[in-house]
């Protein structure tokens, strides 16, 4: 049993992580931390867990986690807070899967530009592996620090990787139109996510300015070996969970849908959580799962890729466990089917 | 044209009121007040109103409203704040329709018990008329201060009035089970009304402790001429607007459904906004309207009354305009059909 | 009073049309037809209308409508059925606003290609005016037959018209990504619109194959004076009403957002139902209204236009009344504010 | 490994059952039957299962199931169809967990009265065990035929059992007010469950006439040892899954909430899936689980019990697996946590 701790236990990604890890045959949750002063029981914070777990949240102390045998930590802290807490753990030899954005962007200037604060932990930033298993899977087993990917980047990156890898499309004119459920905005109440404000409504937000843009571009540039640019427009949808991403790309030559499907199926032949289908996907079919569903269409010579996922599982906590499985040599699917 | 002002322009009831009054042929909105310092344009606070109204919010000054010719004020302030603002207006001869709870409960001790603060304006409390037109309609034309009824009390009171008036049911064992959309909780973001917390979920809250309980009992006791008690359980439903109330009562003698429908139709023969039907109602059919729909069933000798309304219109701003129409001698339905 | 009739009274667009026309000071609804054999009361078909209208549906007989004084008909029949019923009315001098697709596409071959049946009424097709008032407004007052536009085409056409009119963008690479509420699919139950199948889910459908594609292209080609092509991808959103359309276009030269907003405001200076704003719109703010809200953004040199509407009102029944107002010389906004 | 088959694979309960059983370490799904002629792949019927199961549906032939080693069958057939198919399996020694209503009501006259058809399999009806493990748990291990309980009856029965067992309440005046998500209505499209008809709406249906009424009464009468009667009013809520049941009972003597909680906790001390809490429950917290959450309140001397569950899991497929676990000697919680 690998003894693990979860930092920042009060939000939605921590709840999903607990839900998955409680079923994991090789992980033992020994601590969950929270900045809340009253050390609430997890079952009070998350009534869904009542009857399954008896832990109370506790303040974060690196040494105490070590003393309890913790060797791997999942950080569900917000960005900024994560890079304040993670270094002490890494220095003590703990392995970290960080669900925040703090270690995702290799270039600290890009981080500063999009997150409007300087990066404080350049040493570890340089070692971090971007935890998208289908692209960076080889580096994950030996990583000490995995920067778990954002929710929007995954369908965008995985939806484009086969075309970008083969340089089949123009790399500077890619359009990524995403539709996300509201849980992606986190658990802190705000007017924009107040029920009567977002129910029965669709809206766009942060068009061209969303922080996941550089993350998408970094990974696709890695795949391409040259700079890739996307126009990214996220939309808020009145549902709890799910992201549906529609991607429009201009191919360098004519493709049939059959050729494209073949290309995608080959590319993802060993990826158990990427399902390439012929039908147009729907978020309901991957909700509650770690699958990322996708298909392709050709319209007036353009390639349209349609990809979807559960933003809390595949988009956060599920892929974190997928990374954990790779880090500790388990079957990638353990606790995820 | 009656010059009117709205106090507290940023919430949902103010938005509905504006929407209705902008269509009213005999009302002119000359001012909307808000405690927000920056005097926002109404169209910025409520983008739905863009292109229909050019007013900006302004701080509340009684004399300035008088100077602008205001003779009638709708107060959408929260309870407590309303009884702080309303007296100055009443003293200047302005008529007030108060959408808060401040003037609804005749007995200030009952107010203090349920709202956990003392009542500060006993003088005007004594003059207030409870603005439920189907019951207190005769007193409204001459009232200076109308205490607009709460959202839950209306289907409860109007659903029971015909039976209570005729003393056809036991008055101490009435069960009122209500299901409300989330807009009833107001526009201030809270965890309980954060989209992912209440979407795809039903919950009960304040069972036996909701502040609308004494309001229901006061009106029904007026109708009965003796004390009436209800067991009131409100529930939160994942929809924006609408209240559905299911009432269970024990009749003193056996009734057929036909007899009950006849009783209800006679009772509401002159009430244009109460629709007594034979089919089980649904909130969608009165959403966006000032109608209150109801029907009755007899099950194992019990009477089950099913009533519904739009909580923001019939339950607040629509009935406020219905009261305004009665106060100023207009057809009760003006601007409401 | 203009005596009007509505053909096909059982669906959602008929309900909205009734709701609006019952408030219209210059229109009198004298008949509503339905193919249902039992001539149901409108208030039974649409309980929302109870207490407002006493009409029963009746079978469609052109002569009877004439005998009752009908001079204008709104057809809410499905495509195919509409062009079977409309000719007899036109031949008797009745003016027709057809909400179906039957008279929208000028070229009967295009109709046959997309609707998979031949057009049966070529004579009247040639006379039809496409009823998008902001583009074809001059032709509407004298039209006998107005082909009311589809729901998706309106935000697409009006979102692009200012740029297309000035030839500011590439006309063959326009991407239109639309998100629609479920009422757009009509009132006939199907698995795809069964509540548990589409609630809590986003999906795409008919990507590159939706019948509104040629309608968008026809109108934009009219505006441009040369062929325009769009890649159109519609998506189904778990809400009742509203369409949000995100358009991506490649400008011929660099524009600032300020320049674009100025361009749009000038173009729509006399269009009371097009609201050009600076904030990103949301469907909730135009739900229940005839407004079409839009704004523009510039992202990496691309122009992104964001437009939304209520699909049943602006997208169907509201714009039909706007056309009616123009046909009969009323203020365009009558009954629509 | 126990070889099992599922009859009627196209609906929601079959999907949930597959989802659970695919995780069960001691069950092997060897066949799924469907009346659809084209033997569709399960992953086409239920795209959520893609990548997890390769089975195709097949027609139901009892002998073929036997030949493939099937020893236990879950029937997800509709009522009527189930009692036509089940006898042949029972006669061949197969054990059956029937999710339909066919074997739930001990008295065939009651069945005929509520289901409006005669019962065709009286022999097996007499042997059936009602599969509510918390009440009839002792009989399940040896049962050949388990009549899996309905969705509504479970929170009603388990919410009342501790009070009824001790004869603490009046047994003829119990009110059960239930609120259910739409998946409870099954997967066949109907107008009442068409998205725009039930979204953003609450309605009541079958008040006093719902078929689960006699099932609730039968089980509670068993617990009481004398006849129990309920007034049962179900309501349709715009969400996919979840039932929230509010029960109003008249106690014979005064109880405090603390006393009642103690009573409930003692009664359910060995029931791992009944969570007795102090907070008011919400369906979101048991959605996706086999837990039934409940608490109690005392209001004006009445007892109010609030209970909720996931209607597809606890209310159908989860409790079916709980029964399977008891039948085959597994830990009751296997595959359900």
Q: Which regions in chain B score pLDDT beneath 70? A: none
Q: Inform me whether the pLDDT recorded for C37 exceeds 90.
A: no
Per residue in A242-298, pLDDT tens? 999 999 999 999 999 999 999 999 999 999 999 999 999 999 999 999 999 999 999
Instruction: Give D309 to chain A, closest Cα distance, Å.
Output: 11
Question: Which residues lie closer than 8 Å to B67 by C-beta, 6 or more apart?
Answer: none
Are B238 and B198 contacting, i.e. CB atoms less than 8 angstroms apart? yes
Dist CA D139 CA D327 (whole Å): 9
Q: According to the model, what pLDDT value does residue A24 have? A: 98
State the pLDDT at residue A20: 98
| Per-residue tokens: A248 | 């429009």
D23–A291 C-beta distance less than 8 A: no
- Tell me the nearest-neighbour CA distance from A198 into chain B, angstroms: 7
Q: How confident is the model at residue D36 (pLDDT cuts 50, 70, 90)?
A: confident
Residue from the list C207, C248, C282 with its beta carbon closest to the beta carbon of A280: C207
Tell me the average pLDDT across D58-69.
Answer: 96
Which one of C72, C151, C198, C308 is the catalytic residue?
A: C151
Which spans in chain B are helix H? 12-21, 42-45, 62-67, 81-91, 108-115, 122-127, 133-136, 153-165, 195-198, 212-224, 257-267, 283-286, 318-327
Contact flag B204-D284 (C-beta cutoff 8 Å): no
Could you give the CA distance from residue D171 to residue D106 in angstroms, rounded to a whole number? 20
Burial degree of D261 (CB within 10 A; 0-12, 13-18, 19+): middle
Numbered residues of chain C with Cβ closer than 8 Å to any chain D Cβ: 12, 181-183, 187-191, 193-200, 238-241
Chain B: touching chains (3 or more CB pairs < 8 Å): A, C, D
Average pLDDT score, chain C: 97
pLDDT tens digits for B23-66? Answer: 999 999 999 999 887 889 999 999 999 999 999 999 999 999 99
Closest Cα of chain B to D273: distance in Å?
A: 19
Using a CB-CB cut-off of 8 Å, the residues of chain B touching D248 are: 175, 177, 231, 248
Contact state of A248 with C229 under an 8 Å Cβ cutoff:
no
Give the pair of three-digit tokens for residue C244: 């949000």
Would you state the pLDDT for residue B335?
98
pLDDT in tens, C38-70: 889 999 999 999 999 999 999 999 999 999 999
Q: What is the pLDDT of residue A39?
A: 87
Q: Which residues of B have a CB under 8 Å from any CB of A?
A: 12, 181-183, 187-191, 193-200, 238-241
Looking at chain A, the whole-number percentage of residues with pLDDT higher than 70 is: 100
pLDDT at D253 over 80: yes
Q: What pLDDT sits at residue C38?
A: 83
pLDDT at C35 over 90: no
Chain B residues inside the 8 Å CB shell of A238: 195, 199
pLDDT band at D35 (very low <50, low <70, confident <90, very high): confident
Q: Return the half-sphere exposure (C-beta side, CA atoms, 13 A cut-off) of residue A337.
A: 19
Q: What is the mean pLDDT of residues D163-171?
A: 98
Query: Residue with structure tokens 């959450």?
Result: D293
**Which of D204, D232, D246 comes nearest B280 by C-beta?**
D204
Residue B35: predicted pLDDT = 86
**Which helix (H) or strand (E) covers residue C265, if one does?**
helix C257-267
Closest chain B CA to residue A238 = B195
pLDDT at D119: 97
- Cβ <8 Å between B47 and C291: no
Contact D285 A50 (CB under 8 A): yes
A292-299 and A274-276 strand pairing: parallel
Task: Please give the interface size between A and B, counted as residue pairs whose CB atoms are below 8 Å apart.
Answer: 62
State how far residue D240 is from chain C, nearest Cα, in angstroms. 5
Chain D contact set for C240 (CB, 8 A): 195-196, 199-200
Give the closest of A183, A190, A199 to B189, CB-based: A190
Of C31, C13, C73, C87, the closest CA to residue C324 belongs to C73
Angle at A74 between CA A213 and CA A160, to 5 degrees: 30
Q: What's the burial of C323, exposed, middle or buried (CB within 10 Å: 0-12/13-18/19+)? A: buried
Q: Residue C181 burial by CB count (10 A; 0-12/13-18/19+): exposed, middle or buried?
A: buried
Other Cβ atoms within 10 Å of C120 Cβ, number = 13
Burial D53-63, CB ≥16 within 10 A → b, else e = bebbbbebebe
Average pLDDT on D276-300 reads 98
Q: Average the pLDDT over C319-336 and give the result.
A: 98
Nearest CA to A93 out of A17, A137, A128, A145 is that of A145
Q: State the alpha helices, DSSP H only, in chain A.
A: 12-21, 42-45, 62-67, 81-91, 108-115, 122-127, 133-136, 153-165, 195-198, 212-224, 257-267, 283-286, 318-327
| Options A76, A151, A286, A308, the catalytic residue | A151
H or E element that contains B147 = strand B145-147
C-alpha distances in Å from residue A109, one per residue of A115, A214, A215, C304, D1: 10, 11, 13, 27, 57
């Amino acid at each position: 049993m690998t003894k693990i701790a979860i930092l920042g236990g009060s939000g939605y990604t921590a709840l999903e992580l607990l839900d998955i890890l409680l079923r994991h045959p090789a992980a033992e949750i020994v601590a969950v931390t929270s900045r809340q002063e009253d050390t609430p029981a997890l079952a009070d914070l998350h009534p869904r867990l009542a009857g399954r777990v008896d832990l109370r949240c506790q303040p974060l102390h690196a040494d105490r986690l070590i003393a309890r045998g913790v060797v791997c930590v999942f950080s569900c802290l917000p960005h900024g807070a994560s890079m304040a807490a993670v270094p002490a753990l890494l220095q003590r030899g703990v392995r970290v899967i960080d669900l925040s954005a703090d270690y995702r962007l290799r270039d600290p200037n890009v981080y500063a530009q999009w997150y409007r604060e300087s990066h404080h932990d350049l040493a570890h930033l340089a070692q971090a592996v971007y935890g998208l298993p289908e692209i960076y899977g080889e580096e994950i087993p030996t990583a000490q620090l995995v920067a778990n990917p954002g929710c929007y980047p995954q369908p965008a990156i995985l939806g484009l990787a086969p075309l970008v890898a083969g340089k089949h499309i123009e790399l500077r004119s890619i359009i990524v139109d995403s539709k996300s459920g509201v849980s992606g905005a986190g658990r802190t109440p705000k007017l924009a996510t107040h029920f009567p404000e977002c129910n029965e409504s669709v809206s766009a937000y942060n068009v061209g300015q969303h922080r996941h843009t550089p993350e998408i571009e970094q990974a696709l540039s890695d795949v391409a070996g040259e700079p890739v640019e996307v126009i990214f427009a996220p939309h808020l949808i009145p549902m709890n969970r799910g992201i549906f991403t529609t991607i429009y790309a201009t191919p360098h030559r004519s493709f049939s849908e059959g050729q494209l499907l073949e290309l995608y199926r080959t590319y993802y032949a060993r990826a158990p959580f990427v399902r390439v289908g012929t039908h147009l996907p729907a978020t309901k079919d991957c909700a509650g799962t770690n699958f990322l569903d996708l298909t392709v269409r050709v319209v007036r010579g353009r390639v349209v890729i349609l990809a979807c996922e559960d933003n809390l599982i595949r988009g956060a906590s599920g892929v974190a466990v997928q990374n954990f499985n790779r880090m500790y040599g388990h079957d990638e699917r353990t606790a995820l089917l």
